[in-house]
Amino acid sequence: MTDSSSWPPQLDPRRAAQIRSVVMAEIHDQAAPRRRRRRILTVVAGAAAVLLAGAGTATAVLLYAQPDQANLGYCAPVASLDRAVWDRYAFGAVQAPDGTWETLDAVEACAAMRQAGVLGAEFQDGGANAPDELTACIVEGELVVFPGGSGTCRRLGVPEAAVAP
Amino acid sequence: MDRVAVADETALAAAAAQGDAAAFGRLYDLHVVRVHAHCARQLGTVQDADDLTAVVFMEAWRRRDAVRVVDGTVLPWLLVTATNVARNHRRGLRRYRSALAKLPPPDPVPDHGGEVAQRMRTADGARAMAAALASLGATDRRVVSLCLIEDLTYQQAADVLGLSHAAVRSRLSRSRRTLRDALLAAGYDPDANGSEGDGDD
């Protein structure tokens, strides 16, 4: 914001560019929704199958995949923006009998997956060495839970999750 | 607006309607400042104006087949879209929540005594105006927003809203009284602060 003597203050070019990037990213995302949905469903189905077979504690939040962003999240082994690192283990919310989706607690879901020990070898910090804190961030529009405290998202340069973390 | 700009914008709108994202981005560049100011006026605050501006353009892209060019510009159509989105802005923010989460928080505004006091006075009037706008019906709010706030001509407003020139004039006359009463009831004298223009055609 620039001019403080008139109202409203004029949008400054830097902020306009930030808004532009969000708008254009959304436009490009709309161009390939079907491809994204297939990939996400595959990942979630794989994670859910492992959990259903070997762990009972986390299944409440892992039964179904939901390709809607608000009902989907990823559990990352380390704080990294590399998609190949964070998008391997996804989880989804549970659909109630009336068709509504329960609120997804992403941090709780990821913690349950870690405690259940069903994630890959890259999650070497499980059990007694589990991270004290997990934080949900937004990366490329996806809900991603990283190990670390509240400053994790800021250090990565991404916003914290605004949707029920 | 000169002839080159008129020709360009019509072509850009046509290209965007065909799915040309770059053309749509150019329309964004042309109008984002006006749309942002319009959003702030509709809400009476700048706090949500950034998000609402993004929603306006995402909605514009979603409904790009319906974009209407008036006098060679899509600005009136964007302003109407902004007015519509502002009326249900909570719903709009929810729809695009995931996309908006990518938008970093705005930079903090430095505190400079007198400037802040001036900002508070003008922001107070803006909030009163936004509340007064909210007291209008949907169509009246669109007419007022275009003619009294954005200074479009009656004919431009009529064209983009699909109303007759006489209907715009009639709605404005009635809405002026409603706005004035609402502002006075809020303890804000529109004559003393010049918050309304004449809106003459």
For A160, phi and psi rounded to 5 degrees? -70, 160
How much is the average pLDDT of B22-30?
A: 92
CB contact under 8 A, A7 and B102: no
CA nearest neighbour of B52 among B13, B27, B79: B79
The amino acid at B200:
D
How much is the average pLDDT of A100-121?
A: 74
In the predicted model, is pLDDT for residue A15 greater than 70? Answer: yes
Q: CA of A53 to nearest chain B CA: how many angstroms apart?
A: 32
CB pairs < 8 Å spanning A and B: 108
Q: Please tell me whether residue A73 adopts helix, strand or coil conformation.
A: strand
How much is the average pLDDT of A120-141?
A: 73
Contact present, B123 and B72 (Cβ < 8 Å): no
- CA dist., res. B72 & res. B26, Å (int): 15
In the predicted model, is pLDDT for residue A37 greater than 50? Answer: no
Q: Determine which of A62-66, A67-71, A101-105, B39-43 has the lowest per-residue pLDDT on average.
A: A62-66
R_g over Cα of chain B: 17
More confidently predicted of A164 and A91: A91
Whether the predicted interface score ipTM is above 0.85: no
Per CB-CB distance under 8 Å, the chain B contacts of A138 are 98, 101-102
Q: Please tell me whether residue B46 adopts helix, strand or coil conformation.
A: coil
Alpha-helical segments (H) within A32-149: 33-54, 83-86, 106-116
Q: CA of A6 to nearest chain B CA: how many angstroms apart?
A: 7
CA nearest neighbour of A18 among B38, B53, B37: B53
CA torsion angle for B70, B71, B74, B75 (degrees, to 10)?
-100
pLDDT tens-place string over residues B75-123: 999 999 999 888 877 666 777 777 787 788 776 655 444 554 555 556 6
What distances in angstroms separate CA B51 from CA A24, A87, B119, one per listed residue? 14, 27, 21
- CA dist., res. B40 & res. B48, Å (int): 8
Per CB-CB distance under 8 Å, the chain A contacts of B129 are none
Label residues A93-109 b or e (16+ Cβ within 10 Å = b): bbeeeeeeeeebbbbeb
Q: Model pTM?
A: 0.53
Instruction: Determine which of A4, A7, A72, A156 to mutate to test the interface with B (most B C-beta atoms within 10 Å).
Output: A7
